[in-house]
Chain A
Amino acid sequence: MPDAVPALEARHISKTFGELEVLRDISLVVNPGDTISVLGPSGSGKSTMLRCLNFLETPDRGQVLLAGEPVGRRADGRLVSDKELAKSRARMGMVFQSFNLWPHFTVLQNVIEAPTKVLGLSKDEAVARAEGLLAKVGLADKRDVYPFALSGGQKQRVAIARALCMKPDVLLFDEPTSALDPELVGEVLAVMRDLAKEGMTMVVVTHEMGFARDVCDEVVFMDRGVVVEHAPPAEFFGNPKTERAQRFLSRYA
């Protein structure tokens, strides 16, 4: 779909933390329905890049566009209001490495909080939607449980349901399986695989090479704050062009 407006686009994003330049002129195009995985060694800036997309980190320079509309910053460069930014964020779901469920809410309350308070859904509507999603991630029976009683994999699946319940246009994943015990990684990846198949638009920062190779439409490889390669998975894994990517793959793949 070359003519379609990208679901999400980043243009020339830069970010420094003090002296350290973590992102240098990053650009990224995510087309509707695509799943993009962002790979790279730790410290490459990939998580910071992802967090710039919904302005959890404010990029120093550059633009983010959600379905063509600016996020976080107006065209003249000024930051938007808290309220306006919240509206954009409501259209992008995010799943964190450390789940970040709200411990004082039950599973169901975690999932319906934002749909009722931010989108203004009635409680019945939100509950119906949430129950469907909890069933989909295989946790229908956990709806009234508090997060402390869940395993890491279950927590992460609730976090995915929480993000999905907003019916977002794009889902951002920040190393969603890195904090999990190895035996729990599979259940989370399976849910993500299903979402990709259903045509959900996703940007996934990950270390799971299998997922990147089999599920994603495109791979973005970052190192030291820049995008080094950008290719379909078959090409990236089969025939990496740069020496940095070759070294990375020889170590992790």
Chain B
Amino acid sequence: MTGTELQMLLSGAWTTVWISAIAIVGGVPLGLVLGLGRVAGIPVLSQLLALYISIGRATPLVTLVLLLFVGLPVVGINIDAVTAGVLTLLLNTATFNAEIWRSVYQSFPRGQIEAAQAVGMQKGAIFRRIMLPQMSVAALPGLMNEATLLVKASPAIAVIGIVDLTRVTDRISARTYEPLPPIIAAGIIYMIIIAGMVRLQRVLEKRAAKWSA
């Protein structure tokens, strides 16, 4: 591989990183909204969300990205490949995050909420001040784990022509006629990205847990 090809590889890596990053950063709060909506007990909405989450969990990303990229224009939403890719990853990770948030919400100790009610705090303040900080720490391992799964599933967007870290190996081997080196290089870069995320998770967990024994 020459300098140009190395540059192509890095630009593919950058595409993977920023598209995944947007999906992760957006998918955490979106998952929170979906997860809370599911347990809110609002009649039709909660059931619809449960159905959406159940289907979302079962849908392969390759299938979903094709559906969005090919299907949405037909119903009057024009969407370019990158937007379809980001949207796919975002919707997918949000469904998994919704389940993580739901489970930490449901296992939140009742007594702490009662203590907050007893001193006159209202729902919004109780959620913001008492529940959310602790739920975030409890959800952190699950959310980070899901984030690494997202990066590992992100090559699905290559199917609609986005030149990410996986697809760029095709481009490079079309020039060099040697597919093995770029594939191995891409694999190593993926490993570095995932290892970095696992590292970050440990640092965050350590910092977040200063108040637990």
Direct contact, A vs B (beta carbon within 8 Å): yes
Q: Is there a chain A Cβ closer than 8 Å to B134's Cβ?
A: yes
**Distance in Å from the Cβ of B124 to the closest Cβ of chain A?**
9
The secondary structure that dominates the B interface is: helix
Contact of B122 among A83, A92, A149, A166 (CB under 8 A): A83
Closest B residue to A54 by CB, please name it: B118
Residues of B near A98 (CB, < 8 A) are 111
Is the Cβ of A114 less than 8 Å from the Cβ of B119? yes
Residues of A near B117 (CB, < 8 A) are 54, 56, 86, 89
Count of B interface residues, CB-CB < 8 Å: 23
Name the segment of A20-28, A101-109, A189-197 touching the other chain: A101-109
Is the Cβ of B212 less than 8 Å from the Cβ of A166? no
Is the Cβ of A104 less than 8 Å from the Cβ of B211? yes
**Distance in Å from the Cβ of A98 to the closest Cβ of chain B?**
5
Is the Cβ of A89 less than 8 Å from the Cβ of B211? no
Is the Cβ of A162 less than 8 Å from the Cβ of B119? yes
Complex interface bits, A9-43 against B, C-beta within 8 A gives 1, otherwise 0: 00000000000000000000000000000000000
Q: Is there a chain B Cβ closer than 8 Å to A96's Cβ?
A: yes
**Distance in Å from the Cβ of B159 to the closest Cβ of chain A?**
43
**For residues 135 through 194 of chain A, which have their beta carbon under 8 Å from a beta carbon of chain B?**
146-149, 159, 162-163, 166, 172
Q: Is there a chain A Cβ closer than 8 Å to B139's Cβ?
A: no
Q: Is there a chain A Cβ closer than 8 Å to B45's Cβ?
A: no
Is the Cβ of A148 less than 8 Å from the Cβ of B211? yes
9 additional contacts (CB under 8 A) given A104-B137, A113-B119, A163-B119: A56-B114, A56-B117, A82-B123, A100-B111, A102-B112, A104-B133, A104-B211, A117-B121, A117-B125
Q: Which residues of A come within 8 Å of B, CB atoms? A: 54, 56, 82-83, 86-94, 96, 98, 100-105, 113-114, 117-118, 146-149, 159, 162-163, 166, 172
